[in-house]
């Protein structure tokens, strides 16, 4: 039909709104439909928008720095359709005006005061060295000030700061040289600390080994002393047992003792007897009692 064509340029992450004679007729993700001469189409991107930014701000010691990073957010379709002209060409799907760029600019403008306040509170040295600290502080303040972004139809997902650079290159070089010197000093201190710790550990090991050897020697001395005491005690016990065993025979006459010995020998209790002159003399007296 004359003046009628089919719109099929929306992707799955595009929120499409169809207006006829300025009145909203339908909207939704990835819509396709016939377009007449009185139809207007607007598209709001539903995917996360990555918005780069570079702000030039002044530190507390009056030095200019550039802060570069990225703001990630999603756009609320109803609010964005009310605030921005996001109409597209029905034949190509391209934006007719710069409505999306203006939305991004508004997001940057809402973020900038948060970054500026933190940079203003920092010296040039703190700003150049504290990228991570400033980024974390911006994210924290962004969480507290979400209302302004939501009023503009933005849902902030994240913010990152990639780099903070001085606008004065000579000053930046001087600070960089100072930082390098500090880094080298920290590295030297770390090496010295490691060497000191190593020496301490070595002394601790030597002391432990010495104490262990001394303790082992003490333990060995106590063991030897205990063994000696045990040996003496055992010998004394055996001596006492022998004394008590022989005590009944202390007053017996020799011939009686000899008789007992012969009896024990006959019973096999004595395995061997040495025949000494004294023994033979005692046997002779026993055999001839009259001669004694």
The distance from CA 107 to its chain's CA centroid, rounded to whole angstroms, is 37
SS3 156: strand
**158-195 pLDDT, tens digit each:** 999 999 988 777 655 655 656 666 666 777 677 777 87
What burial letters (b/e) apply to 156-183, b meaning 16+ CB within 10 Å? beebebeebbbeeeeebeebeeeeeeee
- Please name the helix (run of DSSP H) or strand (run of DSSP E) that holds residue 67, with its range, or none: strand 64-75
Mean pLDDT of the chain: 82
Q: Any idea which residue has 């055992």 for tokens?
A: 234
**10-41 pLDDT, tens digit each:** 888 999 999 999 899 999 999 999 998 899 99
Bin 258: left if φ > 0, else alpha if -120 < ψ < 50, else beta: alpha
Query: What is the distance between the alpha carbons of residues 181 and 187, in angstroms, rounded to a whole number?
Result: 10
Query: What is the distance between the alpha carbons of residues 81 and 95, in angstroms, rounded to a whole number?
Result: 13
Contact 43, 15 (CB under 8 A): yes
Query: What is the distance between the alpha carbons of residues 40 and 21, in angstroms, rounded to a whole number?
Result: 8
φ, ψ for residue 8, nearest 5 deg:
-145, 35
Contact 161, 66 (CB under 8 A): no
Is the predicted pLDDT of residue 106 greater than 80, yes or no? yes
Question: Structural domains in the chain?
Answer: 5-167 (3.30.479.30), 252-291 (no CATH)
- Provide the whole-model pTM: 0.57
**192-226 pLDDT, tens digit each:** 778 787 777 777 888 887 788 888 888 778 878 87
The predicted model gives 73-94 an average pLDDT of 92
Contact 100, 107 (CB under 8 A): no
Q: Which of 20, 10, 21 is nearest to 44 (CA)?
A: 10
User: What separation in angstroms does the CA of 216 have from each of 32, 119, 262?
Assistant: 91, 66, 55
Q: Which of 131, 116, 133, 137 is nearest to 162 (CA)?
A: 131
Q: Any idea which residue has 């930082």 for tokens?
A: 179
Q: What percent of the chain has pLDDT over 90?
A: 37
Query: What is the distance between the alpha carbons of residues 6 and 96, in angstroms, rounded to a whole number?
Result: 18
């Amino acid at each position: 039909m004359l003046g009628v064509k089919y719109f099929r340029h929306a992707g799955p992450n595009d929120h499409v709104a169809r207006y006829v004679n300025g009145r909203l007729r339908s909207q939704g993700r990835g819509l396709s439909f016939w377009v007449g001469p009185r139809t207007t189409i607007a598209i709001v991107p539903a995917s996360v928008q990555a918005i780069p930014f570079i702000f030039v701000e002044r530190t507390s010691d009056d030095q200019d720095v550039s802060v570069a990073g990225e703001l990630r957010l999603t756009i609320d379709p109803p609010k964005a359709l009310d605030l921005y002209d996001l109409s597209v060409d029905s034949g190509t799907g391209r934006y007719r005006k710069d409505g999306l760029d203006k939305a991004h600019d508004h997001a940057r403008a809402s973020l900038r005061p948060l970054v500026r306040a933190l940079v203003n509170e920092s010296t040039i040295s703190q700003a150049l060295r504290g990228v991570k600290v400033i980024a974390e502080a911006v994210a924290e303040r962004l969480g507290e000030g979400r209302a302004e972004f939501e009023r503009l139809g933005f849902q902030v997902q994240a913010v990152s700061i990639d780099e903070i650079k001085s606008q004065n290159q000579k000053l930046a070089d001087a600070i960089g040289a100072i930082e390098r010197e500090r880094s080298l000093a920290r590295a030297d201190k770390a090496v010295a600390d490691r060497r000191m710790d190593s020496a301490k550990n070595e002394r601790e090991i030597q002391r432990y080994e010495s104490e262990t050897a001394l303790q082992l020697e003490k333990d060995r001395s106590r063991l030897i002393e205990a063994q000696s005491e045990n040996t003496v005690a055992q010998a004394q016990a055996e001596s006492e047992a022998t004394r008590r065993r022989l005590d009944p025979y202390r007053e017996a006459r020799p011939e009686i003792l000899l008789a007992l010995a012969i009896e024990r020998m006959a019973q096999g209790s004595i395995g061997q007897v040495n025949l000494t002159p004294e023994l033979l003399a005692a046997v002779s007296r026993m055999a001839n009692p009259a001669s004694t």
